Amino acid sequence: MRTRREKHSPRIPLGECAPPDEGPLVHERLVATAREASQRAYAPYSHLRVGAALLGARGHTFAGCNVENSSFGLTICAERVALFRAVAEGERQFSALAIYTPDAGPLAPCGACRQALAEFCADLPIISVGQSGAQREYRLRELLPEAFAWPGDPTAAGRAGKRRAQRESGA
C-alpha cells in the first residue's frame, strides 16, 4: 500500500498543483478545519470571520483565519495566512483549498489571495462554504485567468503568462 508521501511526490515542479486528493472525506475534513479556524478570526471591524484550510501535497493541512487591523491595509485574509504558514513550514505544492465563513454566503478569495495562491498552483480547486451550509466550488484559473508573472518566471503564474503571450503572438 502506498503512503501519502509516496502518492504525492515532492518532485512536482514549483507552481504545479499536486494531484488532487479526491473524495468527500477530504473535502469534509478541509471544510471542518476552515470552520474551526474561522472561530479564531480577529474581525472587530467587518465582523466577517473567515477560515481557510489549504491541503499540501504531503497530506498536511494548513489552517488560517483573517486578522483585521485598524489600519485596514495591514489586514490579512485567511487564505494568505494558511498559504504563508504552509510555505513557512516547507510546503510548496497544494491540491485543494477550503474557505468557510459563518457570516455570509460562500466567498471567493480576494484578488491578493488569488495572486498569492497562483504563484504555487494556478489551477487550485477551491471549496467555499458560507451561512447555512451554502457551497460553491471554483478553480483558481477561472477566478484569475490573467495572473501576473515576471517574464521567464518558473512558477504556475509564470507558465500561464508564457502561454498567454504565445497565444497573443500567434506562436
Question: Distance of CA 16 to CAs 3, 120, 138, 170, Å?
Answer: 21, 7, 17, 25
Residue among 100, 110, 96 nearest 48 (CA): 100
**Quick count: other Cβ atoms within 10 Å of Cβ 117?**
26
Reply yes or no on whether 79 is catalytic: yes
Which one from 6, 16, 22, 79 is the annotated catalytic residue? 79
Asked if residue 19 lies in contact with residue 55, where contact means CB atoms within 8 angstroms, the answer is: no
**Quick count: other Cβ atoms within 10 Å of Cβ 146?**
10
Q: CA angle, corner 78, sides to 77 and 80, nearest 5? A: 70
Residue among 83, 74, 87, 89 nearest 109 (CA): 83
Parallel, antiparallel, or unpaired for β 94-100 and 125-129?
parallel
Asked if residue 157 lies in contact with residue 124, where contact means CB atoms within 8 angstroms, the answer is: no
Please give the positions annotated as active site.
Answer: 79
